A and B are shown apart, each in its own frame.
Chain A
Amino acid sequence: DIQMTQSPSSLSASVGDRVTITCRASQSLISYLNWFQQKPGKAPKLLISAASNLQSGVSSRFRGNESGTDYTLTISSLQPEDFATYYCQQSYSIPVTFGQGTRLEIK
């Protein structure tokens, strides 16, 4: 199974800040990496697919990047609606695996 190591597990930031969340895969994913945002009581929402493909309707504040087996989600200029939990997910092979999640909180 491919292990996804996501960091940090929690992050405290202020409106307007820029933050970066990282996922490291245990093997190459050839860009088969998605990023999700989840708010309490809601299903996850796909933000970015294929490592860097921003989904329609998602703010350009969100950006995904890939470097080898390291994947990053950067949120520039945090807005109040961005405070949520974020997950990476590899879709390269079965079983599908998720990172442990990053809880982004308001400072």
Chain B
Amino acid sequence: QVQLVQSGAEVKRPGASVKVSCKASGYGFVAYYMHWVRQAPGQGLEWMGRINPNSGGTNYAQKFQGRVTMTRDTSSNTAYMELNRLRSDDTAVYYCARDLGTDGRYWGPGSLVTVSS
């Protein structure tokens, strides 16, 4: 069965970076885009971008351009999302989701990132 397992909660200082991982299993990792979506406390869902695990090609939301990097490791079937220059309003749960473009059934459980001084 398809599973997406994410890394654990993190606490970061303002200005630091965070790297969240999403390990996929149960399907061909390189066959489906991996998307990243975040949700601030009490707020809605915000799309951050996606990566093509086959080519490594990425599309980022304009809001995060220059501050986010999405990568993948095909040897371990893991996608990564790194966000730099963290601010307090980056405090959120970060989700990976398989192929939101044509599917949407499979989401990771979320990784809480707290940015606090």
Question: What residues make up the interface of A, taking CB atoms closer than 8 Å to B?
Answer: 1, 34, 36, 38, 43-44, 46, 49, 55, 87, 89, 91, 94-101
Residue in A44, A49, A91 whose beta carbon sits within 8 Å of that of B107 in the complex: A44
Decide if A96 touches B107 in the complex (CB within 8 Å). no
* Shortest distance between the CB of A51 and any CB in chain B (Å): 13
For the complex, what is the distance from the CA of A101 to the CA of B44, rounded to whole Å? 6
Residue in B49, B62, B104, B109 whose beta carbon sits within 8 Å of that of A46 in the complex: B104
Interface centre among A94, A97, A98, A101, by most B CB within 10 Å? A94
Rank and list the top 9 A-B pairs by shortest CB-CB distance, nearest first.
Answer: A43-B107, A96-B47, A46-B104, A98-B45, A101-B44, A91-B101, A34-B104, A46-B105, A95-B61
Residue in A43, A55, A91, A101 whose beta carbon sits within 8 Å of that of B100 in the complex: A91
Number of A-B contacts (CB under 8 A): 52
Interface residues on B, range: 20 to 34
Decide if A43 touches B102 in the complex (CB within 8 Å). no
| CB closest chain-B residue, reference A35 | B104
Can you list 30 A-B pairs, Cβ within 8 angstroms, ordered by A?
A: A1-B62, A34-B100, A34-B104, A36-B104, A38-B45, A43-B95, A43-B107, A43-B109, A43-B110, A44-B45, A44-B95, A46-B103, A46-B105, A49-B103, A49-B104, A55-B105, A89-B45, A89-B104, A91-B101, A91-B104, A94-B59, A94-B101, A95-B47, A95-B49, A95-B61, A95-B62, A96-B35, A96-B101, A98-B44, A100-B44
A1: B residues at CB distance < 8 A = 62
Tell me the residues in window 79-117 of chain B with beta carbons closer than 8 Å to chain A beta carbons: 95, 97, 100-105, 107-110
